[in-house]
Amino acid sequence: MEHLTYLDSLVLGIVEGLTEFLPVSSTGHLTIAEKMLGLNVDDKAVTAYTAIIQMGAILATFLYFAKDIARLLGAWFGGLRNPRMRDDHDYRLAWAVIVGSLPVGVVGFFAKDLITGALRSLWVVAVALILWSGVMFVAEVRNKELARQGYHRGEGSITMRDGVIIGIVQCFALIPGVSRSGATISAGLLRGIDRVTATRLSFFMAIPALTAAGLFELKDVDPKVVGIGQLLVGIVVSFVVAYASIAWLLRYVSGHRITTFVWYRIFLGAALIVILAAGLLSAT
């Protein structure tokens, strides 16, 4: 494969930063972008590159939620030392994030070959985009019904059970086209958690999951394909775009339902099916 260019790095960094936290599937969009750039989506160096530039998005999350992260860590360590502090909702929230991050790590490790192999097909991306849109739609409708019944939960009510359930659902995001944020936000909505809290929880759970994925993929970076400069460009660009994306999404979900993303996903999935069926783009 030819060397990854700076233009490729710029494009992939923008796509990563823009789609990582929106419920539209960053992996799906990156796979489409890689194919359009003429890159080999099955190349380990390419998959490693896209995983590593996620670190830029993670750094954006650390910066944006720095005070929240410090608060949760303080509550967690405080609760470990002092049993009387374990009734603090921040202590429970911290545990929910920790236990919720474990399932995707375990499944991702043992299913790595499948995830980076057969599931990288654009047919999988197209179908997953459409099918998971149904889950997102049902989650939004169900959450509205729960709110009407007076069952709407905020950040202070998050439990470890919420973390486990959302963490298990997050495993579906390993399928390109599903979307990690789409999976976690949907699970939160189905649990009766309000939209903003579900979105914030999705961001918190992204930190350990994406950090682990990026560090794990470092070993597969091929300097003959991806240079340090290209890596830095991808990380920096994804950081800047992701930070703006986080701020926008939190403002958006405070007053809008996620069904807007559902229609976009369905349109993209259907368009991708037509393109693949017409032979205008190869699936792998």
Does the pLDDT value for residue 1 go beyond 50? no
- Write the pLDDT tens digit of every residue in 78-132: 999 988 888 889 999 999 999 999 998 888 878 777 776 777 788 999 999 999 9
**In which band, very low, low, confident or very high, does the pLDDT at 3 lie, cut at 50, 70 and 90?**
confident
Domain span at 197: 6-277
At 193, give phi and psi (nearest 5°): -80, 140
Domains held by the chain: number:
1
Is 283 a domain residue? no
* pLDDT tens digits, one per residue of 12-36: 999 999 998 899 988 889 888 888 8
Position 145 in a domain = yes
Alpha carbon separation from 137 to 46, 189, 190 (Å, rounded) = 33, 10, 11
Inform me whether the pLDDT recorded for 2 exceeds 60: no
What pLDDT shows up at residue 214? 67
Ramachandran assignment for 12, one of left (phi > 0), alpha (psi -120 to 50 degrees), beta (any other):
alpha
Q: Is residue 225 part of a domain?
A: yes
Residue 40, pLDDT score: 77
Question: What is the average per-residue pLDDT within 8-12?
Answer: 92
pLDDT in tens, 41-70: 777 777 778 878 888 998 999 999 999 999
> Is residue 103 in some structural domain?
yes
pLDDT at 87: 86
Tell me the percentage of the chain whose pLDDT exceeds 90.
54
1 domain-assigned: no
**Tell me: the pLDDT tens digits for 231-247?**
899 999 999 999 999 99
Tell me phi and psi for residue 152, to 5 degrees: -135, 120
Q: Identify whether 282 is part of a domain.
A: no
